[in-house]
Structure 1
Amino acid sequence: MNFIKSLDDKVWMTAKARYNASARLNKKHQALTFTISFLSVAQIVLTFCMLVDICFGFPEKVLMFIAMTTSVMILVIANQSALGSLLIESEKLHRFGIKFQSLYEEISLYIKLDKANKSVEEGFQQRYSQLLREADINHLKIDEELVKAERKSFELNPICALWIKFKNLVAIYLSSFLYLAIPLGLLWGASWLK
Structure 2
Amino acid sequence: MDDMEEKTPATVLYDELDKTMWITKHSRYNASDRLRRKHSISIYTISILSIYALVLTLLEKYGFQVSNCNIYEFSSVLLALFILVLSLTEASKNYMVSSERLFVCGNNIRDLLDELKKFNNGSETDVAGIEALSSRYSHVLKACGENHETIDYDLLRAQRPKDFNDLNWFAGLYFKMKYMFNIYGLYFVLIVIPPVLFWKFK
State whether TM-score is above 0.5: yes
Partner of 1:72: 81
Q: Deviations over 1:132-190 (max 9, x none)?
A: 22221101111111111111221321100000001101110122123224423432542
C-alpha RMSD over aligned residues: 1.8
Aligned 8 A contact 1:29 1:83 in 2: no
Q: Structure 1 unaligned segments of length 5 or more: list them.
A: none
Partner of 2:21: 11
Partner amino acid, structure 1, of 2:106: G
Which of these residues, 155, 173, 182, is aligned with residue 171 of structure 1?
Answer: 182
Q: Does 1:52 align with 2:62?
A: yes
Which of these residues, 8, 26, 32, is aligned with residue 22 of structure 1?
Answer: 32
Which of these residues, 141, 156, 159, is aligned with residue 147 of structure 1?
Answer: 156
Output the CA distance in 1 between the equivalents of 2:84 and 2:123. 59
Partner of 2:3: none
Partner amino acid, structure 1, of 2:139: Q
Which of these residues, 69, 83, 95, is aligned with residue 86 of structure 1?
Answer: 95
Partner amino acid, structure 2, of 1:21: A
Partner of 1:98: 107
Which of these residues, 119, 134, 143, is aligned with residue 143 of structure 2?
Answer: 134
Aligned residue pairs total 189
- Secondary structure of 2:155's match? helix
Q: Structure 2 unaligned segments of length 5 or more: list them.
A: 1-10
Aligned 8 A contact 1:92 1:137 in 2: yes
Aligned 8 A contact 1:16 1:97 in 2: yes
TM-score by length of 2: 0.86
TM-score by length of 1: 0.89
Partner amino acid, structure 2, of 1:165: K
Q: Deviations over 1:21-45 (max 9, x none)?
A: 0000011111111111111111111
Residue identity (%)? 31
Which of these residues, 125, 129, 132, is aligned with residue 120 of structure 1?
Answer: 129
Aligned 8 A contact 1:7 1:125 in 2: yes
Stretch of structure 1 that moved more, 150-159 or 86-95: 150-159
- Secondary structure of 1:138's match? coil
Partner of 1:36: 46
- Secondary structure of 1:81's match? helix
Output the CA distance in 2 between the equivalents of 1:189 and 1:54. 15
Detail structure 1 runs of 4+ shifted over 3 Å in the superposition.
113-116
